[in-house]
Amino acid sequence: MAAAAPAPHPDPLADPLSDAALATSLEGGFTSRHADAGPVRLHYVEGGAGTPVLLLGGWPQTWWQWRRLMPGLARRHRVLAVDLRGMGASAKPAAGYDKKTMAGDIRALCEALDLGPVHVVGHDIGAMVGYALAVEHPAAVARLALLDVPHPHPGWLTMPLLPGDPDQANAPAAGREGAFLWWFALNQVRGLPERLLAGQGMRAVVDWLADYLAADPAALDERARRVYARAYADPEAIRAGNAWYQAFGTDIAHSRAHTPVRVPLLALGGERGNHADLARWAPGAGTDVRVAAIADCGHYLPEERPQEVLAALAGFLD
């Protein structure tokens, strides 16, 4: 009897939510790739040509959060949207989620791809990693843009556990300072979120955060919400994403030794997002700092106001 033919490998393009399919859906010839970056294997999506621009995103999202910026940036730059350690299709090791170590991952990726000095644009957790990269590996960074979030600093240690107003925990945060960041505390707990949220639970979290933090929740469309919820649906992905938050104490300790970075730094916040905290922190974070806000925008700048963000980045990066 003849041996059975091996089962064909599934076509990643047949899954509309796969990284390969999402990458090819963008204008600019983007492709989904992997590279060994020191001890971890990182996933990234690349397109365009010119001076490299690294896009580093945050929780609970993936590289897909940059989809509305990538084609525009790729007209003048080599664009790499990177899934950080623990994110999306990148490796999810047991440890190493402090931002100094994660910055080392990005430095190793730059070396593996022979990129030379790069422009870095970070949002949320990615902004923390981007700043740590400029602190720890200044020769690797040409210019640095931080979107809506600073590096963890000692002021975070006084963050209230309870909202001053009981309604604050549920009323949309866009448009007022002092949002109640309850997930900062939840994500500190080891083991429990994985049990609570695996499966469909992360879709509820993605929806709640979009509605709470975005000035325009519809900007995080149904496909994006499905991509993000699926990326964090299994226990290992939840555990890894939470580890970014569990490392904040270490990140704050590291920040006490930071000296202002010398690369040009753009601190770009959502006017109705976290601009106030970012604007207070940024002037002491560098020697060449520009602070700006995107009007009528919440936390999710690249998705809510992509054209305004592109304009700000073009004026800064070019």
What residues does 47 pair with on adjacent strands? Answer: 79
Instruction: Tell me which of 83, 98, 105, 124 is the catalytic residue.
Output: 124
C-alpha span between 2 and 243 (Å, rounded) = 50
For residues 142 and 263, is the Cβ–Cβ distance under 8 A? yes
* 124 a catalytic residue: yes
* 15 a catalytic residue: no
Cβ neighbors of 291 (< 8 A, separation 6 or more) are: 267, 269, 278, 279, 282, 283
Q: Quick one: which of 8, 32, 33 has its CA closest to 21?
A: 32
DSSP string for 250-262: HHHHHHTT---B-
Residue 262 has φ and ψ, to the nearest 5°, of -100, -10
Cβ neighbors of 128 (< 8 A, separation 6 or more) are: 99, 122, 149, 150, 151, 152, 251
- Hey, which residues are catalytic here? 124, 299
